[in-house]
Structure 1
Amino acid sequence: MSTSHTVAVPCLPASLVFRKEAISVNRYSKFCKQALLIAVLLLSLLPASLVHAESPSYSDLYIAIGDAIMASKQDDKQAAETALEEFKTAWEQEDHPAKESKQVESALKEAEQAKGSAQRLESLTALSKALHTLEKVENPVDEKAQRLEFKKAVTPDLEKLGDTIRSGDMEAIRGSVQKFLATWTRNERPVREQSIAAYGTIETQMAFLRIALAEDSPSQTDLEQTYTALEQAITSFAAGETTQGSAPVTSDSLDTLTSLLADSRTALAKDDADTAVAKLREFITSWPNVEGQIRTKNAALYTKIESQVPLLAGKLTSEKADIKKISGDIASLQQQIELVKESTSYTFWDSALILLREGLEALLIIIGLVAFLKKAGQPQLAKWIYTGSAVGIVASIVAAVLMTTILNSVTIGSSREIMEGAIGLAAAAMMIGMGAWLHRKSSVTAWNDYIARQMGTAVSSKSAWAIGLLSFLTVFREGAETVVFYVGIAPNMKLSEFLLGIAVALIILVAVAVVLLKAGSRIPIHRLFAVATVFIYVLAFKIIGVSIHTLQLTDIFPTSIVNGLPVVAAIGFYPTWETIAGQLVLVVTVVTMFAIKKWMPARNTVSS
């Protein structure tokens, strides 16, 4: 019941940018562009020793294993593979000279090559055991001494609890339960680390005590039987009888929890309170096996579940129970667990769309520059445009891959979700700004003026170097902006998906380039920009939802559930007022920009 960042898995450890208007912008804009360019270049020059200055702890490795286990239970192959990649990244940041490290690497390889969820779960169990063995070698701990120390710490309050239960004084019993609960919370760590079975039994019996006390007329027999089971679990653990570090992975998952809550609500709808209570008791029994998945993602929800579910089960036994309110509370818990369960990840297509839009923009500019040279009677200078563009493409790809790798390295740990959410919102804000710029460029006249401004100085001087540099800056400017957008989605996608998206986008861009070169001025450029704008806003909608949801899971933003609405992770829609408000800001902004665009020409016409 503590809020430390650990995961309930077998063998738990002993430790646990440049915005537009390229050359003809004002000085402030130029300064911002130069600063962002320097920042990107400096990041690319960071030594590996600086990037990996803080080595990951074993807790990071166990969290990754726990995420992989939960994803495998839900048959989510992509999420499981992402968690394994996080484990591998964290593992490779440290040297492990002990021979036991070979067992970890072998188990990791088997997990990566697993054919299905069942095989992957078996491999993850072996990986957890191997990691636990290695940690005991590198950080030896006297587990027997820990168990004896635990028993010594909890025995006084445990015995006092037994005495008060036998006395039958309900007020005294409630006070003793709260006191023992506080003692258990302070001392539970060695139990959780050494034996998930013992930890689950103790947690369950504590919850059952609270259920019994929440009833109108608590049963003395139930209290005494529950206390006996609690005492036996603690005694067995202290004697080392339940420290089976090799305990198998259970079949419980977050789906199990939401299903039990749904069954409880269904029973209440049929006025079957007994079945509803039974389902909540099943929930409590399954809870210790999967609580780590929630504890590491949303500590506030973890505490809320532990405190509320036993009380709800107890209240249902009362003749005066407010069934409607209790059902609503259960529905709220169910929906909040659904929000944790629906972990949004981006696909290669999201990666491809970003590069497609930015690449299309750069491509149109480059083709426009070539056309401008032909009209100016300087077609021989076109090769310098192509050369500069090629160099810009290579530099952009290198910067993007490097930035993604760095971000994945420094965001493994408890602050990962906070960084993902904050950077995602920043990327979405830039996307909105970029969309506004593209929307303004959807005028053919404005587009032609834009191209003319870019080439004016370079062509007049007939400088091959200036023309090549112009095309390089044009492409790399879009590439640097692409890096910023990728930073917003990279932590939620596999590196292989990220690279595949880049490859797909490049292939499509080559095909588009061929068509544009052959079709020339017959291509409606303003239409292409309009399509690009739509793509930008759609992805911005998703990023806003995902980012706010991520910050809600870390308690940076509050979570106000909107009952009755589904979770649509594919588009980043989560039924909370906070995520909906953020996405409404985007929608209102887009509608306002379109309205202004329609209004301005009409106003100019009336004025003339």
Structure 2
Amino acid sequence: MKRYLSSLLMILVLLIALPVQAQSTYRHYFIAISDALMQTKQQQDEEAQKTLVRFNEEWQSVTSDQATQKKAVDEALALALRAGSHDDRLAALTDLSNALVALDKAENPVDEAAQRAEFGQKMKPVLQTFEQAVAAEDVAALDAAYKTFNASWNKNERPVREQSIAMYGQIETQMAFIRIAISEDEPNMAAIQTNFDALKQSITDFVAGKETAEVVEGEFSLQTLLDHIAAAKGAIADEDYNAAADEIRAFIMVWPRVEMDISTRDSKLYTKIESTMPLVVSGLTKKDVDADAIDAQLDEFATAISLIAEKTDYTFWDAALILLREGLEAMLIIMALVTFLQRANQHHLTKWVYVGALAGVVLSVAAAFAMSLVFSASSMDANREIIEGYVGLIAAAMMIGVGVWLHTKSTANAWNDYIERQMGRAISTGSVVAMAMISFLSVFREGAETVIFYMGIAPSITAGELALGVLVAVVVLALVAFMFVKTSVKIPIHLFFKIATVFIYVLAFKIIGVSVHTLQLMNKVPTHIVDGVPMVPVIGLYPTVETLVAQAILLSIIAVTMVWQKRQR
């Protein structure tokens, strides 16, 4: 019976470990490619490979009527997965992005010339108004005209970005330089006129289908933005404000090449950076520079960009701890029940302990299957990252409950009283059903919780890491079971519970932080930066009010539990 129980437990583990497929838009895949590019540019080759592996796992469920374009994506993805060097992966990712764009266009054909003409018609009125304000050299009119033009550009920029990222970047940069000139203490009308003429020509060229933008050489990532901010802060500290302004201008030049990495995750931050950085440059060129205010603003942007650039992943140790904690607890309960029955000369009831455990495993497998179906169905019409964030919070809530339960059983007397109280009821009634239910509930609760826990971390761990964690946990469980059965040595359960309590609280702390952070990236939870708090992704610590408050609630629950347990003694 124990052999069958172990086999079914392995089936449960394998079902949980299977990747949950969900219908996903190509936008989701473009974000993944962007992540892999950013990680590769930052020399995070292992992280880039993990991102590609997850991409590949999800891509296997995608079908398309455009066989040629779909095959091109498949081949480009295969090359990216096999890339043996930094440069090879960058080239392969570029090819993969282009192939995916081609597939998207083939499935959703558009008339690019018509799009450009429509863009030109929509921008024509605001461009004429802007031109009149420039000619009049009226600062107030210029400011109003720029804001109107910028609003229209933000509303209609999409075809430019999709058809020519170079032209898009050139127009964005020209707009930023106009904004800088307008915001100076004494606006340089000649510079405004020059930049406006260049802006008008860029728009005219795009509408005509001409590619006249200068190609900006180099590899750029969010780290490039952070480097420019750091250099600007250093110049500000040295009171070299011209050098600081040059660094922010360089930031603005790079911005269009990497802005999608931010806009797809935090649209509010994207808008704030794009509108504020030109003002930072003008602030640095004023006669009286408010260095403290500018430095604080740059600090805020650096922290916010770092939060997006940092990608949290769980390791095989996290996966092992979940199954080890849950599986070991269930095993100990079952073994304790069997041992108690044997010592009470109730050998005929031990088989029902195994029957109850077997039923718990079977229903846990069913729960895993049902929850996978629900997860996939929900993902069809919702952003997967959002669901992952909420599932992670649910997992953390369940972990808190488990941790509190463990905490209350972390003394030898409390554990013995608990087992004897439950077993006393079963034996006194002579109820086989009661005996089986104790075993069933202990296993089913652990199995169902394990499903939730793994769903909470599955999106942030590779299949290999998850499988390794599960294997490590299974080996440890097998060793413990062997020792328990062969030696009949009483395991100091209360000591184990104390250690397990610490582990489960730490993991809950991490999952809470990661989940809230994920929801912040998807713009479902506001983000308020807290200065002075370090970012430690390995434990889920992020310098935002929202993540810290959520984790503070967990710490409060732990403190209350400790006080309550102490009083119970």
Same fold by TM-score greater than 0.5: yes
1:164 aligns with 2:133: yes
Cα 1:414/1:394, change in 2 over 3 Å: closer
1:111 aligns with 2:43: no
Contact residue 86 and residue 412 of structure 1 kept, 8 A: no
Distance 2:200 2:302 in 1: 32
Alpha-carbon distance, 1:106 to partner: 1.0
Match of 1:209 in 2: 178
Gaps of 5+ in 2: 1-11
Distance 1:173 1:282 in 2: 24
1:80 aligns with 2:80: no
What are the residue-to-residue correspondences of 1:458-477 with 2, within 5 Å? 470-477=438-445
Distance 2:80 2:362 in 1: 34
Q: Secondary structure at the match of 1:523?
A: coil
What are the residue-to-residue correspondences of 1:525-540 with 2, within 5 Å? 525-540=493-508
Deviations 1:371-407 (A, max 9, x none): 0121122446545545654664576467558746864
Deviations 1:13-40 (A, max 9, x none): xxxxxxxxxxxxxxxxxxxxxxxxxxx9
Alpha-carbon distance, 1:91 to partner: 3.6
Match of 2:7 in 1: none
Cα 1:410/1:256, change in 2 over 3 Å: farther
| Amino acid in the other structure paired with 1:251 | E
Aligned equivalent of 1:376, options 344, 347, 354: 344
Match of 1:343 in 2: 311
Cα 1:403/1:84, change in 2 over 3 Å: farther
CA RMSD across the alignment = 3.0
Match of 1:235 in 2: 204
Match of 1:197 in 2: 166
Contact residue 342 and residue 567 of structure 1 kept, 8 A: no
Aligned equivalent of 1:489, options 438, 441, 457: 457
Contact residue 202 and residue 212 of structure 2 kept, 8 A: no
Distance 1:582 1:225 in 2: 51
Contact residue 56 and residue 93 of structure 1 kept, 8 A: no
Aligned equivalent of 2:28, options 51, 60, 71: 60
Aligned residues: 551
Contact residue 357 and residue 440 of structure 2 kept, 8 A: yes
What are the residue-to-residue correspondences of 1:202-281 with 2, within 5 Å? 202-242=171-211, 251-281=219-249
1:424 aligns with 2:423: no
Which shifted more, 158-167 or 310-319?
158-167
Contact residue 403 and residue 487 of structure 1 kept, 8 A: no
Deviations 1:302-331 (A, max 9, x none): 111011111111111111221111111111
Match of 2:561 in 1: 593
Alpha-carbon distance, 1:541 to partner: 1.1
Aligned equivalent of 1:556, options 520, 524, 537: 524
1:176 aligns with 2:108: no
Match of 1:35 in 2: none
Distance 1:110 1:476 in 2: 44
| Amino acid in the other structure paired with 2:105 | K
Which shifted more, 311-320 or 573-582?
573-582
Distance 1:189 1:90 in 2: 27
Q: Secondary structure at the match of 2:345?
A: coil
Identity across the alignment (%):
47
Which shifted more, 468-477 or 138-147?
468-477
Distance 2:220 2:316 in 1: 31
Alpha-carbon distance, 1:172 to partner: 2.0
Distance 1:250 1:549 in 2: 31
Match of 1:288 in 2: 256
Distance 1:249 1:375 in 2: 78
Distance 2:288 2:417 in 1: 76
Distance 1:402 1:539 in 2: 25
Contact residue 24 and residue 379 of structure 2 kept, 8 A: no
Distance 1:279 1:108 in 2: 36
Deviations 1:83-135 (A, max 9, x none): 43554455444421323211111111112222244322211111122122222
1:298 aligns with 2:266: yes
Cα 1:544/1:320, change in 2 over 3 Å: same
User: What TM-score do you get using the length of structure 1 for normalisation?
Assistant: 0.83
Cα 1:555/1:135, change in 2 over 3 Å: closer
Distance 2:95 2:304 in 1: 32
Aligned equivalent of 1:99, options 67, 80, 94: 67
Deviations 1:385-432 (A, max 9, x none): 456546645764675587468647754886333323322222222212
Which shifted more, 309-318 or 379-388?
379-388
Cα 1:402/1:571, change in 2 over 3 Å: farther
1:128 aligns with 2:82: no
Deviations 1:187-217 (A, max 9, x none): 1111011111111111111111111111101
Contact residue 400 and residue 486 of structure 1 kept, 8 A: no
Contact residue 45 and residue 86 of structure 2 kept, 8 A: yes
| Amino acid in the other structure paired with 2:118 | E
Alpha-carbon distance, 1:493 to partner: 2.2
Deviations 1:275-327 (A, max 9, x none): 10001011111111111111111111111101111111111111122111111
Q: Secondary structure at the match of 2:285?
A: coil
Q: Secondary structure at the match of 1:566?
A: coil
Distance 1:122 1:343 in 2: 22
Alpha-carbon distance, 1:450 to partner: 2.9
| Amino acid in the other structure paired with 1:252 | F
| Amino acid in the other structure paired with 2:462 | K
Cα 1:79/1:268, change in 2 over 3 Å: same
Contact residue 442 and residue 530 of structure 1 kept, 8 A: yes
Distance 1:408 1:117 in 2: 34
| Amino acid in the other structure paired with 1:423 | V
1:450 aligns with 2:396: no
Distance 1:265 1:92 in 2: 46
Distance 2:292 2:163 in 1: 41
Contact residue 265 and residue 523 of structure 2 kept, 8 A: no
Alpha-carbon distance, 1:354 to partner: 1.0
Distance 1:89 1:412 in 2: 16
Cα 1:558/1:139, change in 2 over 3 Å: closer
Alpha-carbon distance, 1:353 to partner: 0.8
Distance 1:335 1:367 in 2: 50
Contact residue 400 and residue 482 of structure 1 kept, 8 A: no
| Amino acid in the other structure paired with 1:523 | I
| Amino acid in the other structure paired with 2:137 | G
